[in-house]
Amino acid sequence: MIRSDFDALIGALGKHILGKPQQIKLALTCMLAQGHLLIEDLPGMGKTTLSHALARLFNLDYSRIQFTSDLLPSDMLGATIFNAQTQDFVFRPGPVFNQLILADEINRASPKTQSALLESMEEQQVSIDGTTYPLPTPFFVIGTQNPTFQSGTYPLPESQLDRFLMKISLGYPDWEAEKAMLSDAGIKDDTVSYSVEQLCDWQQRVKKVHASDAVINYILRLVTMSRTTPGFPHALSPRASKALLQAARAWAFIHNRDHVLPDDIQAVFVAVSEHRLRASYQDTDEDTSFSQRLLESVDPLAA
């Protein structure tokens, strides 16, 4: 049964990241919606742990790319090398040819490298020396970035932030969770595990979740509000409304429903739209949340 599947799954993940069920659900939603995830947080908050856990859970090929300011696109995508034995050029695929990539500290790399990764995310293929190499399916990138106010960062431009389906941040765990983490460190339950095929199947089924006119109208009202009301530095693009629907479908799916409710949209709305609404030059620690304001001013029920 799907229901028990997801409960077990979320429970298993929750053993790795304690006290963060909402973020775990969002990450899973993002994966099922075939989008990419951006995690913004301070170092040491469990970004890497979460991606490790996800990879292990679905038995995905996993690689971690540590972004630094001197990382070149070829370091990541791979390069064509001369093989002296066969007197031939062979392509050596880089770490990007994996099913789950952890692009760690993505905003430490130079813009050139950043855009190389984001391009492969969008196209799901890599072109080197005129040859196109498809990336594996499923292909899921978890980018992590440090808050932009930290030194040595190149903030991702708005156009590239848009490529990430969701942006979440984990935040500090609460007292109980951290205490539990410190006392049973190392005890992890890896009995729950799923195949890659299962994941692909779910991804296909997410696409079939029903979104009624009322739900689509609600999404349209939200994005229109952001375009016509003063006070929003960036309006939501059609790409954003597509992402919103996709994420809401996945959210409905992991809650064992075959149709989307306005509540699903509300649940994913902040994660999907906040990084698109906020101008890159604005500090993220500001207290007014643009997406929260949108949610509060749009009636989910009107026909």
Partner 1 sequence: MKGTGLPVKGHRATLILSIAMLVLTVVLNQPLMGWVMLMMTCAAVIRFYLFRAGQTQKLSQRLVNLLAVLACIALAWFSGQQGLLEIMVNLLVTGCALKLLVLRRTKDFLQLTACAFFLTGCALIFEQALSTAIVLSIIVLLLLLGLQQLYAPQLAFKKHLSANVKLGLQALPIASLLFLIMPQLPPLWGMPAGKSTQTGLSESMTPGDIAALTQSTDRVFTATFSQALPPPQQRYWRAMVLESFNGNTWTVSEYRKQQQLLSQFTTRTLEAEPQGNWAEYQLIIEPNASKWLYALDVSRPADRASLTKVISNQDYSLSTVQPVMSKQLFDMQYNADAKKPLAANGIDTQLNLQLPVSGKNPRAKDWAQQLRHRYSDNNALVDAIMRYFADQNFSYTLTPGAMPEHPVDTFLFERQAGFCAHYASAMTYVLRETGIPARIVSGYQGGEAITQNALSVYQYDAHAWVEAAPDGKTWERFDPTAMVAMSRLQYGFQQSMADQHADMPLFSRARARDSALLGGLFAMIDTVNYQWSRWVLGFDNERQQDMLTDILGEKTTTKLALFGLAVMLFITGLLALYFIPKPAARYTDEIQRLYDSLSARLHKLTGVERANLSARQYLHLLAPHLDAQTFSLFEQFTQQYEKIRYVPSGQQRNHYARLRSQHRILMKQLKKGMGGFRPSPLTEE
Closer to partner 1 by Cβ: residue 196 or 214: 214
Q: Are 38 and 107 in contact (CB under 8 A)?
A: no
Alpha carbon 90 to its chain's center: 32
Binding to partner 1 by CB under 8 A, coded x per residue (else -) over 269-298, reads ----------x-xxx--x--------xxxx
> What are the start-end ranges of the H helices in the chain?
2-16, 21-32, 47-58, 73-77, 111-123, 158-161, 175-183, 196-207, 213-228, 238-254, 262-277, 290-297
Q: Are 205 and 31 in contact (CB under 8 A)?
A: no
Closer to partner 1 by Cβ: residue 72 or 279: 279
Query: Residue 177: which residues within 8 A CB-CB, separation 6 or more?
Result: 18, 19, 20
Amino acid at 284: T
In the list 93, 136, 155, 300, the residue contacting partner 1 (rule: CB under 8 A) is 300
Binning the chain into helix, strand and coil, the percentages to the nearest 5 are 45, 15, 40
Instruction: Kindly state whether residue 301 participates in binding partner 1, applying the rule CB under 8 A.
Output: yes
Binding to partner 1 by CB under 8 A, coded x per residue (else -) over 237-276, reads ---------------------xxxxxx--x----------
Binding to partner 1 by CB under 8 A, coded x per residue (else -) over 203-242, reads -------x-x-xx----------xxxxxxxxxx-------
Closer to partner 1 by Cβ: residue 175 or 281: 281
Closer to partner 1 by Cβ: residue 88 or 213: 213
Residues 99-138 that bind partner 1 (CB under 8 A): none
Q: How far is the CB of 34 from partner 1 (least distance, A)?
A: 22
> What are the start-end ranges of the H helices in 78-131?
111-123
Closest CA to 61 of 96, 34, 100: 100
The contact set with partner 1 (CB under 8 A) reads 210, 212, 214-215, 226-235, 258-263, 266, 279, 281-283, 286, 295-303
